[in-house]
């Protein structure tokens, strides 16, 4: 008898994605479309509240909604717990996450704990987590990626995002370009370890990275259209994780390099900036066209060397030779034993000091 079919997997996607100029003004409409009713809360930070939160509050009130604003800080478990308690106490029926990465991460966690749906309103586009169900939380051992819940809706106002420092947008581009080495690592693990592979997730992720590279020369500061060009690939990149059921399509050895830096030398640069530099080096290790990656990052204005991410060459070498200890379950080009310091130095000197 044939074995019976037993596969099952849940894939979460946002239902409504609104991207473009002045889309913030439509937050009440999107909320109504999603069936949100009753009282809700905006979860935001001090800066994001000034750049977009206050406006969202006004638009929601004009649209007939009763909405409170909760100003919070870093994406820590303590802040998540505090807001979970508040949401339960007040009985909010929906949430709006207004901010960069950390406020969206907090809200994803709160939504997953309370089962209250939320809309994501990014004020920056510095990484590809906008549309995904995974959240990055701060812990004593560096940032930790945890499964939470995907937003019901996304409102990406290109005007708001273009007013944020350009560095964030460039970092978001670098985070998506870094998919290319994540995908090489995934193929490598598929060939060597027979690891689960999804062609759909693979091609979506690859397409996002290529779309950014193809448009690299046109992605510039102070041009709202640059945000328009970048935001769709960033969102699509995030959905590739939902299809794969894990972060394989967007996170490989280059992310391990970035995570190693988060532990060894925290807060020197943005996540996407570190991943971009990691991708140059990991493409070299894979025998790929690392000069092409470097050129695209340079055209965009993202860092391409140690100095660009506030590190000394020795610090890069240390992170390269320790990165294999970060995520042992993820098989990548650096293997289980990692790079020797000698090899790590060759990689850094070849690709970053040219």
Pair of tokens at residue 272 = 């996407």
Pair of tokens at residue 249 = 């399509």
* The one segment of 8-16, 154-162, 168-176, 218-226 that binds Zn ion by CB under 5 A: 168-176
Query: Which is it for strands 39-44 and 94-99: parallel, antiparallel or unpaired?
Result: parallel
Min dist. Cβ of residue 128 to Zn ion (A) = 6
Beta carbon nearer to Zn ion, 116 or 256: 256
Q: Nearest-CB residue to Zn ion?
A: 175
Beta carbon nearer to Zn ion, 40 or 99: 99
Pair of tokens at residue 202 = 């693979």
Min dist. Cβ of residue 229 to Zn ion (A) = 19
Residue 185 near Zn ion by CB under 5 A: no
Min dist. Cβ of residue 134 to Zn ion (A) = 10
Size of the site for Zn ion (CB under 5 A): 1
Contact 175, 130 (CB under 8 A): no
Beta carbon nearer to Zn ion, 145 or 158: 145
- Residues with Cβ within 8 Å of residue 235, at least 6 apart in sequence: 17, 19, 128, 130, 131, 154, 156
Min dist. Cβ of residue 251 to Zn ion (A) = 6
Beta carbon nearer to Zn ion, 127 or 322: 127
* The one segment of 56-64, 139-147, 175-183, 225-233 that binds Zn ion by CB under 5 A: 175-183
Min dist. Cβ of residue 276 to Zn ion (A) = 10
Q: How far is CA 233 from CA 320, 326, 333, in A?
A: 28, 28, 25
Q: Footprint of Zn ion on residues 192-221 (CB under 5 A)?
A: none
Min dist. Cβ of residue 252 to Zn ion (A) = 10
Q: How many Å is the Cα radius of gyration of the chain? A: 20
- Of 354, 275, 284, nearest to 319 by C-alpha is 275
Q: Which of 175, 185, 262, 318 binds Zn ion (CB under 5 A)?
A: 175
Residue 68: beta bridge partners? 41
Question: Sign of dihedral through CA atoms 160, 162, 163, 166?
Answer: positive
Sort residue 332 into left (φ over 0), alpha (ψ -120 to 50) or beta: beta
Min dist. Cβ of residue 21 to Zn ion (A) = 27
* The one segment of 66-74, 130-138, 171-179, 237-245 that binds Zn ion by CB under 5 A: 171-179
Q: Footprint of Zn ion on residues 61-120 (CB under 5 A)?
A: none
- Residues with Cβ within 8 Å of residue 203, at least 6 apart in sequence: none
- Of 339, 347, 353, 216, nearest to 279 by C-alpha is 347
Task: Name the strand (E) or helix (H) holding 353.
Answer: none
Min dist. Cβ of residue 132 to Zn ion (A) = 10
Q: Dihedral (C-alpha) 207, 200, 17, 176: value to the nearest 10 degrees?
A: -40
Beta carbon nearer to Zn ion, 70 or 125: 125
* The one segment of 62-70, 167-175, 208-216, 335-343 that binds Zn ion by CB under 5 A: 167-175
Beta carbon nearer to Zn ion, 175 or 273: 175
Q: Where do contacts with Zn ion occur on this chain (CB under 5 A)?
A: 175
């Amino acid at each position: 008898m044939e074995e019976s079919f037993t596969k099952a997997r849940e894939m979460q996607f946002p239902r409504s994605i609104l991207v473009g100029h002045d889309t913030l003004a439509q937050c009440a409409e999107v909320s109504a479309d999603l069936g949100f009713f009753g009282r809700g809360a905006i979860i935001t930070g001090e800066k994001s509240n000034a750049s977009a939160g206050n406006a969202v509050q006004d638009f929601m009130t004009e649209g007939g909604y009763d909405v409170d604003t909760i100003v919070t800080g870093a994406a820590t478990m303590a802040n998540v717990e505090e807001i979970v308690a508040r949401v339960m106490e007040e009985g909010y029926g929906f949430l709006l996450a207004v901010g960069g990465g950390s406020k969206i991460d907090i809200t994803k966690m709160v939504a997953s704990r309370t089962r209250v749906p939320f809309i994501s309103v990014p004020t920056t586009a510095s990484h590809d987590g906008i549309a995904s169900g995974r959240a990055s939380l701060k812990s004593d051992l560096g940032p930790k990626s945890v499964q939470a819940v995907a937003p019901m809706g996304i409102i990406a106002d290109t005007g708001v995002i273009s007013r944020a420092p350009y560095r964030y947008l460039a970092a978001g581009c670098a985070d998506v370009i870094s998919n290319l080495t994540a995908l090489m690592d995934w193929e490598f693990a598929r060939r060597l370890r027979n690891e689960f592979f999804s062609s759909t997730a693979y091609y979506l992720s690859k397409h996002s990275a290529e779309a950014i590279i193809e448009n690299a020369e046109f992605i510039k500061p102070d041009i709202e259209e640059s945000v328009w060009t970048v935001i769709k690939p960033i969102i699509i990149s995030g959905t590739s994780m939902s299809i794969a059921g894990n972060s394989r399509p967007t996170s490989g050895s280059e992310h391990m390099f970035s995570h190693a830096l988060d532990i060894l030398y925290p807060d020197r640069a943005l996540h996407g900036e570190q991943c971009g530099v990691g991708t140059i080096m990991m493409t070299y290790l894979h025998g790929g066209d690392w000069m092409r990656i470097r050129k695209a990052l340079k055209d965009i204005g993202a860092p391409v060397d140690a100095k660009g991410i506030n590190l000394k060459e020795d610090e890069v070498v240390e992170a390269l030779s320790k990165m294999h200890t970060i995520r042992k379950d993820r098989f990548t080009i650096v293997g289980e034993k990692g790079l020797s310091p000698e090899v790590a130095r060759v990689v850094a000197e070849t690709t970053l000091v040219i």
